[in-house]
Amino acid sequence: MLVVTASEMSRLDRETIEQIGIPGAVLMENAARGAASFFLDAVPDLLSRPIAILAGSGNNAGDGFVLARIFHGKGARVRVVCLRDPSRLKGDALTNFLILEKLNIPVHVWDESKEFDAQLPWVEESGAVIDALLGTGLNTEVQGLYRQVIEAVNGLSVPVLAVDVPSGLDASTGKPLGTAIRATATATFGYLKAGQLIEPGMQFVGRLSVVDIGIPPTIPSLCDIRRWWLDEEFVSGWIGPRAAGIHKGTAGHVAVLSGSRGKTGAATLISLGAARVGAGLVTLFIPESLNPILEVKLTEAMTYPIAETDEQTPDVAALPAIMEFLEGKQALAIGPGISLHPGTRGLVKALIERAPCPMVLDADALTIVSDDLDLLGKAQQPLILTPHPGEMARLVHGTVQDVQADRIGAASDFSMRHGVTLVLKGHRTIIAAPDGRLAINSSGNPAMAGGGMGDTLTGMIAGFAAQGAEPFQAACLAVYIHGAAADARIGKIASRGLLASDLLEEIPRAIGRLEGFPGGGR
């Protein structure tokens, strides 16, 4: 499903009206009727409650006026509260307001010259509030009467139903502009808005549903929108059952550089992650003194002992042997548990510049890169970086707070500036491609907050890359399946207690659901 910004949604509306010829009044009617249906599902007894519809002065108000007419027609007790004089209304909003007058639907116009508390009962005495105050076009901080009313509504103990976007929420970034409605449910029109899907915006929308308002499917492509909500429907188009004649030699070979003294678990999880998503072969480069440990820990993956530093970490002296082995291999995963030893740093830098296959960089490899971002431009093959917010902060030489304040912007800007695919991990992981494509992941849960989860994901991404998926698709498939496996394993059981090794067992079933296998059901 497409994800849009506020300005993109405005353009989609405009193109539909001007190029296709569908009147704005038709889009408004479609929007309100879809919202009414969703609101009745979200609050089953809505028609038995007195409903206050709060209206501003734009098209969002017009949507509210149509909703007032619809619910009035269904027998509900409806009251419209206008925060601005209706004389300021224009176009379709004005048309629908005039209809209210002819239907004798009660309308109260807020008088700012009078006491605020004296007029508040118009809202407080309702059994449900429909928020049609401010739409997706808002780009300045909410002040004055609107701020007072929003804060008063947030103090009520009744369902609050938002039209398109909770008033005060930046639809593009998810930031509250001073203040914002905390909705019980939001009916958004046409397409998902980016700010509704990420923190902190997702905390304001409540239950979210997309209403089809009649925008033809050709319009988004004309506007070159390439931002998606990463869900099962979207990802399943990228993966299907394997051909019967496939064998381990044609299913991709992943090489892994991971592990040091005390960090052999990371190497194990990466290797198994790659194998679980279907890589035909996996070979782990491991410091030679640690090889006996990994030969016991890993059954399916092969190990390749390499030269090590005095601290039992991979050493630059191993470069010739690794380069020779990498010929003909399809993917290389580098980073978790390798340390920041000078000898290890030298090896990582050389591999980034010279490796003959796509690379997935994580953990210590990202820290090494953050000290010399020019390395990214020297790579001969595609790079996929998988930072958590702390690692991302180091990459951009900023703070975690900066990164988290604009996760989409941080990921997209870095990806395009440095020509890499970037996976910004966390709740609603962001995947950004250097050509401007971007996806926001829908799967995953708090039980994934544990050691080893990122290592497993690194292996999964490398595993899909080795099987021929281009970097953006490999990252999207791995990220979605990683979260979906966790959801299936523990999502309805608990919010903690999931181990990375538990997740590994669930991955094939998550893939099977995407491939359409009956046994992949939940």
pLDDT digits (tens, 9 = 90+) for 152-200: 999 999 999 999 999 999 999 999 999 999 999 999 999 999 999 999 9
Averaged pLDDT, 37-65: 97
CB proximity list for 45: less than 8 A, separation 6 or greater = none
State what percent of residues in the chain have pLDDT above 90: 94
* Residue 489: count of CB within 10 angstroms of its CB: 21
Q: Which two tokens stand for residue 502?
A: 């538990």
Q: Using alpha carbons, select from 218, 174, 192, 167 the residue that is nearest to residue 63.
A: 167
What one-letter code names the amino acid at 221?
S
Whether 518 has a pLDDT exceeding 90, the answer reads: no
Mean pLDDT of the chain: 95
Which domains are assigned to the chain?
3-225 (3.40.50.10260), 235-239+248-517 (3.40.1190.20)
Q: Per-residue pLDDT tens for 201-238?
A: 999 999 999 999 999 999 988 888 999 999 999 999 99
Q: What is the residue whose two structure tokens read 């989860």?
A: 453
Threshold 0.85, pTM exceeds: yes
pLDDT of residue 223: 83
* Residue 104: count of CB within 10 angstroms of its CB: 8
Q: If DSSP codes are grouped into helix, strand and coil, which group holds residue 277? A: coil
Averaged pLDDT, 138-142: 93
